[in-house]
């Protein structure tokens, strides 16, 4: 229902988990947020376990509302999706991410990729291929430095339509990652069909990695399967050394999480990469 909504009553979906008054304020606030420059991207480092280097960052949107303060994306992204505002907001994110990544290439962070989250509606409305093409061209970003994060739910809806768009996007030379992998409907065949590059193991599995043998088995299996299909793996939500040690044991390729760093403003990210690069 989330992607269909335009009906007002669908708006009060219990899964959105916010009060009606707050919802309306948020919706109105979101309409003005782009014009008022209230959004910002934060960047969370992604580490290659083999080399220990920062090889990328996930761009995560932040909303600083004048009265509501900092609103979490877990709260406002569903509202943006429900109201269709995610399309212009998503375009802003893509552009801003490309602008920032192009700038850090010039500042010596060569080859550090940026990963951008996409919502289902961006595939349905708006011209995603054009938006991506324009953003890459405007800032002169090498397409191999852009990665798009899609959830499984996007891939299993309107498969042929999405497949065509994904195919066009891949032909630009960018990379594709499946976000929250393991939480949705997983089929091996679509990983090949969609020419996916990377699986992002959901943090719910990573969280209980040390305490729950089932989650450990799931992670190990995902990594083995990914490697047999020539896909890379990244674990998100890595919060402590024990998780990291286990992931290393399972030959996970990359990690992202509070153990390394929280998402941070652009200047802090650039400084972080410099401080963590072997000279």
Interacting residues with ligand C2E (CB under 6 A) = 44, 60-61, 72-74, 77, 90, 93, 117-119, 179-180, 203, 236-239, 257-258, 263
Binding letters toward Ca ion, positions 84-123, x by CB under 5 A: ---------------------------------x------
Helix axes 159-171, 128-139, angle to 10 degrees: 20
Closer CB to ligand C2E, 55 or 192, in the complex? 55
Select the binding partner of residue 237 from ligand C2E, Ca ion, none (C-beta < 5 to 8 A, by kind).
ligand C2E
Helix H or strand E segment including 109: none
174 makes contact, choosing from Ca ion, ligand C2E, none, with CB < 5 to 8 Å by partner type, with none
For residue 204, count CB atoms less than 10 angstroms from its CB and return exposed for 0-12, middle for 13-18, buried for 19 or more: middle
Nearest to 270 by CA among 106, 64, 63: 106
H or E, element range at 9: none
Smallest distance from ligand C2E to CB 205, Å: 12
Q: 257 in the Ramachandran plot: left (φ > 0), alpha (ψ -120 to 50) or beta?
A: left
Shortest distance (Å) from residue 254 CB to ligand C2E: 13
Beta strand spans in the chain (E): 39-48, 54-65, 69-71, 113-117, 146-151, 175-181, 198-201, 232-235, 254-255
Contacts of 201 (CB under 8 A, 6+ apart): 181, 182, 219, 222, 223, 233, 234, 235, 236, 252
Choose the contact partner of 61 out of Ca ion, ligand C2E, none; CB within 5 to 8 A by kind. Answer: ligand C2E
| Residue 254 contact partner, candidates Ca ion, ligand C2E, none, CB within 5 to 8 A by sort of partner | none
Least Å from the CB of residue 19 to ligand C2E = 20
Question: Whole-angstrom Cα distance, residue 243 to residue 49?
Answer: 13
Q: Which does 96 bind (CB under 5 to 8 A by kind): Ca ion, ligand C2E, none?
A: none
Provide, rounded to whole angstroms, the least separation between the CB of residue 183 and Ca ion. Answer: 8
Please name the residue ranges forming H helices in 151-199. 152-156, 159-171, 188-193
The one segment of 97-105, 120-128, 147-155, 212-220 that binds Ca ion by CB under 5 A: 147-155
- Report whether 21 contacts 84 (CB < 8 A): no
Q: Which is nearer to ligand C2E, 54 or 93 (CB)?
A: 93
Quickly count: other Cβ atoms within 10 Å of residue 249's Cβ. 10
Q: Is 73 helix (H, G, I), strand (E, B) or coil?
A: helix
With CB under 5 to 8 Å by kind, the binding choice for 189 among ligand C2E, Ca ion, none is none
Is residue 149 close enough to count as binding Ca ion by CB under 5 A?
A: yes
x/- site string to Ca ion, residues 151 to 190, per CB under 5 A? ----------------------------xx----------
Q: Cβ 255 to ligand C2E, closest distance in Å? A: 9
Nearest-approach distance from CB 12 to ligand C2E, in angstroms? 21
Give the nearest distance from C-beta 184 to Ca ion in angstroms.
11
Give contact residues for Ca ion (rule: CB under 5 A).
117, 149, 179-180
């Amino acid at each position: 229902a989330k992607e269909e909504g335009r009906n007002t009553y669908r708006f009060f979906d219990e899964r959105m988990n916010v009060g009606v008054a707050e919802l309306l304020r948020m919706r109105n606030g979101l309409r003005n947020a782009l014009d008022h420059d209230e959004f910002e991207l934060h960047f969370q480092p992604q580490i290659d376990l083999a080399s220990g280097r920062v090889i990328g960052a996930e761009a995560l949107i932040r909303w600083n509302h004048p009265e509501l303060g900092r609103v979490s994306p877990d709260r406002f992204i569903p509202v943006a999706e429900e109201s269709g505002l995610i399309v212009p907001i998503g375009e802003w994110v893509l552009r801003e991410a490309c602008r920032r990544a192009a700038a850090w290439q010039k500042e010596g962070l060569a080859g550090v990729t940026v990963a951008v989250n996409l919502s289902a509606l961006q595939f349905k409305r708006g011209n995603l291929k054009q938006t991506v093409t324009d953003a890459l061209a405007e800032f002169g970003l090498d397409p191999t430095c852009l990665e798009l994060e899609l959830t499984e739910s996007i891939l299993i809806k309107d498969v042929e339509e999405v497949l065509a768009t994904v195919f066009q996007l891949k032909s630009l030379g960018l990379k594709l990652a499946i976000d929250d992998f393991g939480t949705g409907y997983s089929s091996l065949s679509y990983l090949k069909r969609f020419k996916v590059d990377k699986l992002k193991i959901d943090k719910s599995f990573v969280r209980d990695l040390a305490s729950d043998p089932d989650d450990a088995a799931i992670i190990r299996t995902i990594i083995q399967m990914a490697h047999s299909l020539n896909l890379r793996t990244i674990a998100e939500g890595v919060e402590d050394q024990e998780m990291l040690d286990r992931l290393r044991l399972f030959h996970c390729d990359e990690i992202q999480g509070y153990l390394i760093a929280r998402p941070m403003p652009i200047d802090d990210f650039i400084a972080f990469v410099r401080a963590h690069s072997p000279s």
